[in-house]
Structure formats: structure tokens, C-alpha cells
Amino acid sequence: MHLKLRVWRQAAPQAKGRFVSYDAPELSPDMSFLEMLDVVNERLIEKGELPIAFDHDCREGICGSCGLMINGVAHGPMRGTATCQLHLRSFRDGQEIVIEPWRAKAFPVVRDLVVDRSGLDRIIAAGGYISARTGGVPDANAVLVPKDDADSAMDAAACIGCGACVAACPNASASLFTAAKIAHLGLMPQGQPERSKRVLRMVSQMDMETFGNCTNIGECQEACPKLISIDVIARMNRDFLRASLFGREERAGSSGEI
């Protein structure tokens, strides 16, 4: 198999980036997309050129490290798939493929296809947890969780934090990411005491990170490798409204702990 690549190269965050064309012959349709980039990189190194930098680690769709815009689509043409799980059999022989990093103001490019997604960590740090300090917790079966709730919580908790939702969104909103964590914890009985505080803080952090607003376009759920539904965003908005009206905590990052 033979592909023609146009890859975004950018030496440093402030450097000017540009597309560079690479010819990629002698590939196998059974290769994963990242294995194809490995092969291209090996050939570049052998020629004494700098390899294309891209984030990757587990290569089985769970760590969330990888993420590329492939012909303008986050994680490429296959639904419910992270870039590392995509195989060349999804492409035509001879096809031209444009590879770009995630594009969002809140995800500055570090190098080539590598971006800085630390804003997502800061959203979690703002409140995406249940404050259960180690030790001193009740027996695991002391609090029952209806199976449907546990299943729905798991659906939302499946998020791998790759940032595809942000990259796919025309507003570069992190709503699907944020709402997935809020839904996961809000569906569990253990998550109730901090529910209002959590949604207020996480949403406020999301705004501070310069992610855009959600306008219900739905591109995020199409791009999500774990097929997380935008229903969680509706849930977040309900929680947010309720917390804003009745919650005890004041709005907008007032805690000073972020």
C-alpha cells in the first residue's frame, strides 16, 4: 500500500508551522495508523531528518495519549476509534492524507503533532473527584448503587481524556469532557455531597482555560473514541442551573483553590 502524507510540522510552540509532504510507499493495510508513522519516522531518521513528533503510549485506545486530525476528522474516519486503533485498511491505496495536531486555543502546539492538554487536568483538579481520603471509608457494600446508575456512570467514566471532543468542536469547547466526569460522579451516591460544588468549579475552570462554549452542535460525540453521548452535557447544564440557583457555593472560581 502507498500513501501520500501532508503532515503539520512545527519546531516549537512559538515557531511558524507548515505542511510538509511525505511519500509513504510499501505499507501494509494491517498496520495501525501510528505504525505507519513509525515507519515514516524510521525512514526520516535514516535520512538524517527529524522524525515527526506525536504523542502515543498504550496503542490500544485507552491511555488517551494519541490524537490526530486525519483529513480534518479527529481520530480519523472510523467511529468510536482512537487514532492508535485505526488501521490502514480504512484508507485507499494511493490516498492523500492530511495529518494535523488538535487545533484549539486551549491546546497550544508543543511540537509537530504534540499539543499541551494540561487544561483538561486542571478541570479535573477543580472538582472532578470525590473527596474520600485514604482509609476511614465504609464497607464497599454498605452503600448500594442501582445497576442502571452504575452502568450509566460507567458509560460516562469511559472518557479517556484525549481531547478529540475539543478538537472536533467548532467552538473548541471542552463540555463533553467536563460533563462526562460530572455525570460519572453525579450518578453515584458517593458523589452527591459535592455535586453542586463540583459542577460550579469545573465549569468555571473550563471557562478560564479558554475552551469555547457549547452550542449543541454534536461534533464532539461523533469524534469521541468512547462514543460518550452529549446527553451528559444536558445533565451538566441541569446540574449547573440547579447549583447556581440553590447551591451553597458562590459561582465562578470564588474558592481560590484552583
Binders of another protein in range 150-189 (CB under 8 A): 150-151, 153-154, 157-158, 160-161, 184-185, 187-188
Q: Tell the smallest beta-carbon distance from residue 246 to another protein (Å).
A: 22
CB 152 within 8 A of CB 183: yes
Phi-psi region of 75 (alpha: psi -120 to 50; beta: other; left: phi over 0): left
Judged by CB under 8 A, which of 76, 101, 191, 247 binds another protein?
191
Judged by CB under 8 A, which of 25, 72, 146, 193 binds another protein?
146
Query: How far apart are the C-alpha atoms of 253 and 258, rounded to whole Å?
Result: 7
Q: Tell the smallest beta-carbon distance from residue 254 to another protein (Å).
A: 14
Q: Specify the residue, 49 or 250, whose C-beta has the smaller distance to another protein.
A: 49
| DSSP conformational letter for 17 | P
The CA angle 133-136-139, to the nearest 5 degrees, is: 115
Binders of another protein in range 78-137 (CB under 8 A): 78, 81, 85, 87, 89, 110-111, 114, 116-118, 120-121, 124-126, 128-135, 137
Q: Tell the smallest beta-carbon distance from residue 253 to another protein (Å).
A: 12
Cell of 214: 457549547
Count residues near another protein (CB under 8 A).
79
Four-CA torsion 51, 169, 192, 131, nearest 10 degrees: 30
User: Hunting for cell 501520500 — which residue is that?
Assistant: 4
Binders of another protein in range 210-239 (CB under 8 A): none
CB 209 within 8 A of CB 256: no
Q: Specify the residue, 137 or 241, whose C-beta has the smaller distance to another protein.
A: 137
Binders of another protein in range 45-84 (CB under 8 A): 45-46, 48-51, 53, 55-65, 78, 81
Query: How far apart are the C-alpha atoms of 176 and 185, rounded to whole Å?
Result: 14
Binders of another protein in range 7-26 (CB under 8 A): 11-12
